[in-house]
Amino acid sequence: MSDVMTKRTAKAALGPYGRVGHVLNELDDRVGSAKARNLLDKIFPDHWSFMLGEIALYSFVIIMVTGTFLTLYYVPSQTVVTYRGSYAPLDGIKVSQAFASSVDLTFGVRGGLLMRQMHHWACDIFLGAMVVHMARVFFTGAFRKPRELNYTIGTTLLTLGIVNGFLGYSLPDDLVSGTGLRIAFSILESIPVVGTYLAFFIFGGNFPGTAVIPRFFILHVLLIPGIITAMVGAHLFLLVRQKHTQFPGPGRTEKNVVGTPMFPVFMGKTTGYLFIVTGVTALLGAFTQINPIWLFGPYDAAKISYAVQPDWYMGFLDGALRIAPSWQTNNFGHTIPWTVTFPALILPGIIFGIAYAWPSLERKFTGDYEMHNLLDRPSEVPVRTAAGAALLSFVVWLFIASSTDVIANFMHLSLNDVLWFMRVTTFIVPVVTYIVTLKICQEMRGADGSGRRKTPSLVTRTAEGEYLSTAAPYHEEMEHHEESAVPVPTFLVQHEVPLSNGVRTVERADVPNRRKAATPLSPAFESGDVLTEAPNHQEMGDYEDGSVLVPTFLVEEDLPDGGAVRTIER
Amino acid sequence: MSTNEEHRTPVSLSNISENDPRMQPAAKNPDRVERWIALMFLAGFVGFAGFGWAYWVDAAPWILGSTVGFAFSLIGIGVVAWGKYLMPKGPFVEERHDMRSTDEERDALAAAIIQRGGGVIKRRPMLGALLGGGLGVFGIVALFPVLRSLGPLPGKTLTGTDWKKGSYLVLQDGRRVHVNDFKIAEAVTVFPEGFEETPNGQAVDQTIIIRLDTQDFTTKKGRETWGPAGYVAYSKLCSHLGCPVGLYEQQLQMLVCPCHQSMFDVTVGAQPNFGPAPRPLPQLPLFIDKEGYLRSQSDYLEPVGPGYWERS
């Protein structure tokens, strides 16, 4: 009986980390969890643009939570019933069960309207955050090797998000969503050879049928969210495995990652971020009406409302359908309505095809097969930035084209003029965007001090009331830190580098998978020179006329043959 | 290097001492930041409690949303501030490791797959072929029942409607349309009598009639008898994407589709003269019977709605 333990001895027996330590040890006995400690030490780089993907992730969490709430009340059925629910203006009207239950969960369930609006808002935010996140990844070159696979997963997530968004807003079976379904049916019909079969199989017969809503429901709540969840998991796994990219900066190299540790700093901040996204979505749900199906009324195939538009992420397709010319072909007894097939199917195929293919296209054209963990500033890579901006402007212009009728009404213009304006400018805008972006990037790259922290000026007032502006005293933290940057691919820079500034194209002998890179050399470098140390930024960039500032370096390790450099004449 | 510079140099998290300046919080005045964060959390606490109260008393949706929304936002800002200002400021650094495995590891994997796995199949090629063939056949035949059972084949469904010779034109509520019912420039949606009984009647049969004149109206050559007493009837399904062409612009005598703004001139056989629609709307031939009711001479002579492959 002497080994009766007091509280004190029991606590001592648990070891220095107490009860929590005990639980952790028990867990480690079984699964070896202590080996995962380095996950807690993982370093995450800090930059505001890295949180765009987090917005997407957290709005997806909100979609899942609010969506689950909605499924508790929604009835996915097109069976026609007489409405006798909580929304009096519709009393006695014949509606589908899907519509009746959607209206009833809005007004008859506590918090129902809030949950429905939050669900819809979270979806719009999800898609928006994905697009902006993708733009960040694109313009900073984060998709480059080794992250092409994760870029592909991300692009697929965007397409799945668009598809699931469409399926979701079709479910309430209101007048606007029914019109969207009618259009979807007609787009399927427009596919050559198999179109009508596909449409009939998906809709279970001719439009509208009674099968489409139950079918879309199970796709919307189970199949596609399941795939999205799995792919988000893969996306995050690859992110952790490959470690996050970082912008160049003090102490940052291709071979390290600088930032704050996963636990507790990053975890704390990101959890707070989840709360903020949730809070903002709730506020949007509380104060801004979205998709008021009770005002649209139930779907009736013979009815239509003015200014019918899909959710924003489908807008570019609607715009393309509006401005497409009325072309169709009729050969050998078969009709192909190109006016539908092209804008609704081929065009998005081209847009997403370019997005999917970009990493391999860039690898191929630049010959850059290197690993990249440091990000580009968009201005450093004018061609990529200009191409991305052009594609983006094209899609945005199509989006604007989806409201030709509203624009015409609002600005008191003829619809005809607006349509023709959009038809023509859709081709001009991307070209202009490309040229302007390219020029801006080139100017920025050459400009002295671009991308550097501005030096503040000190404004003082004299006794006479005169204001004087002088440069603020030098402060170490203001100093611009330039780290050895990554070689910029030839294709992207060579034609902007004037030869007269002592810049020559250097063929890098025996460097695998890299054909050539344009490199500014100070006149001191000659053919056959062996570079033993990387020239620093000052030597490289400061030309007399200050016109060239190419952050390109030759590093000894890039030249396995001992660093022999052969210059070739151009 | 100045001390300031030293503190900016990233350091590895392992073996760092607790007293290292990089382990200190980023805030210049942590106590003040702590008080602000405490205030945020307190407000969040009140907000959540308010949400509970609002739910209990069944308050308006905006009260539910604003209480929970402000609570989450404030607590979130507080937590972010905690992480940003009160936790070790760093910067910390971690080495990246090459994704690439060693050559030995690569070879070992390739050997395992190709030699061990491939060897098994090579030794028994017939079994491999049969297994592959069997599963392949299943894959192909499984497609048929899975796809085919989803819906009926289109067949003739798309080519005709429920309009027949002598069908009465009725309004949505079932009333027959009489020749004296409408004045000039009025338009209305009609269906063939009995459309409620057909599965897709509402969607396929919808027709818009417009009275253009009091005399018979010819929209096109060969359609001299189709517009009795100025009534002309067109399919209401847009030839672009099947939206109901529900707007009638009286001044221009045009039908306008609200979806993509195709316009159809009703005086010349609903010929499209604006927008993406590639074809005219099919016209329904009408006649007026002895009692003065509008009826159809026949079904539409061409398929209604948008274009598709089998349409000639």
Total number of domains in chain B: 3
Residue B123 belongs to domain spanning: 105-148
The residue of chain A with its CA nearest to that of B259 is A308
Pick the residue of A55, A218, A276, A277 with the most B CBs within 10 A to test the interface with B by mutation.
Answer: A276
Q: What is the CB neighbour count within 10 angstroms for residue A396?
A: 16
Let me know whether B14 and B82 are in one domain. Answer: yes
Mean pLDDT of chain A: 82
Contact B206 A41 (CB under 8 A): no
Handedness of CA A238, A239, A245, A251 (dihedral sign): negative
Highest mean pLDDT: which range of A459-463, A496-500, B299-303: B299-303
Give the end-to-end CA distance of chain A in Å, rounded to a whole number.
95
Let me know whether A494 and A355 are in one domain. Answer: no
Q: Is residue A324 a part of any domain in this protein?
A: yes
- Concatenating the DSSP letter of every residue in A186-211 gives HHHHTSTTTHHHHHHHHHTSSSS-SS
Residue A265 belongs to domain spanning: 44-89+109-365
Pick the residue of B5, B12, B15, B68 with the most A CBs within 10 A to test the interface with A by mutation.
Answer: B68
Position A3 scores a pLDDT of 56
Q: Is residue A99 a part of any domain in this protein?
A: no
Position A567 scores a pLDDT of 38
Scanning B70-99 for CB atoms below 8 A from A yields 70-84, 87-88, 90-96, 99
Position A533 scores a pLDDT of 43
Q: Is residue A390 a part of any domain in this protein?
A: no
Q: Is residue B260 a part of any domain in this protein?
A: yes
Let me know whether A14 and A71 are in one domain. Answer: no
Q: What is the CATH number of the domain that holds A241?
A: 1.20.810.10
- The structure tokens listed for A336 are 């192909």
Nearest CB neighbour to B73, from listed A113, A271, A276: A276
- The structure tokens listed for B291 are 């009692």
Let me know whether A150 and A21 are in one domain. Answer: no
Q: Is residue A406 a part of any domain in this protein?
A: no
Query: In the predicted model, is pLDDT for residue A202 greater than 60?
Result: yes
Q: Is residue A524 a part of any domain in this protein?
A: yes
Let me know whether B291 and B195 are in one domain. Answer: yes
B223 to A281, A370, B124, B168, B232: CA distances (angstroms): 59, 71, 75, 20, 10
Q: What residues in B contact A122, CB-CB < 8 Å?
A: none
Let me know whether B266 and B179 are in one domain. Answer: yes
Q: What residues in A contact B99, CB-CB < 8 Å?
A: 146, 241-242
Let me know whether B71 and B114 are in one domain. Answer: no
Contact B275 A200 (CB under 8 A): no
Q: How confident is the model at residue B188 (pLDDT cuts 50, 70, 90)?
A: very high
Q: How confident is the model at residue B157 (pLDDT cuts 50, 70, 90)?
A: confident
Let me know whether A81 and A11 are in one domain. Answer: no
Report ipTM (2 d.p.).
Answer: 0.91
Q: pLDDT tens, A439-497?
A: 999 888 766 555 555 556 677 787 887 887 776 665 555 555 555 555 555 555 444 44
Let me know whether A31 and A61 are in one domain. Answer: no
Nearest CB neighbour to B76, from listed A275, A300, A303: A275
User: Of A337, A365, A393, which closes a domain?
Assistant: A365
Q: What residues in B contact A302, CB-CB < 8 Å?
A: 172, 189, 191, 202-203, 206, 236, 244
Q: Is residue B309 a part of any domain in this protein?
A: no
Let me know whether B116 and B51 are in one domain. Answer: no
User: Of A365, A395, A421, which closes a domain?
Assistant: A365
Return d(Cα A309, Cα B259) in angstroms, integer: 8
Let me know whether A227 and A340 are in one domain. Answer: yes
Q: Is residue B164 a part of any domain in this protein?
A: no
Total number of domains in chain A: 3
Scanning B4-33 for CB atoms below 8 A from A yields 4-5, 8-10, 13-14
Number of inter-chain CB pairs under 8 A, A vs B: 309
Let me know whether B24 and B83 are in one domain. Answer: yes
Contact B87 A260 (CB under 8 A): yes
Let me know whether A200 and A180 are in one domain. Answer: yes
The residue of chain B with its CA nearest to that of A342 is B276
Query: If 0-12 CB within 10 Å is exposed, 13-18 middle and 19+ buried, where does residue A114 land?
Result: buried
For the entire predicted model, the pTM comes to 0.84
Let me know whether B182 and B291 are in one domain. Answer: yes
Q: Is residue A298 a part of any domain in this protein?
A: yes
Lowest mean pLDDT among A348-357, A457-466, A520-529, B300-309: A520-529
Let me know whether B63 and B118 are in one domain. Answer: no
Q: How confident is the model at residue A316 (pLDDT cuts 50, 70, 90)?
A: very high
Return d(Cα A261, Cα B86) in angstroms, integer: 14
Position A545 scores a pLDDT of 43
Q: Is residue B47 a part of any domain in this protein?
A: yes
B174 close to A (CB below 8 A): no
Share of chain A above pLDDT 70, in %: 79
Q: Is residue B54 a part of any domain in this protein?
A: yes
Question: Quick one: which H or E segment has residue A159?
Answer: helix A148-170
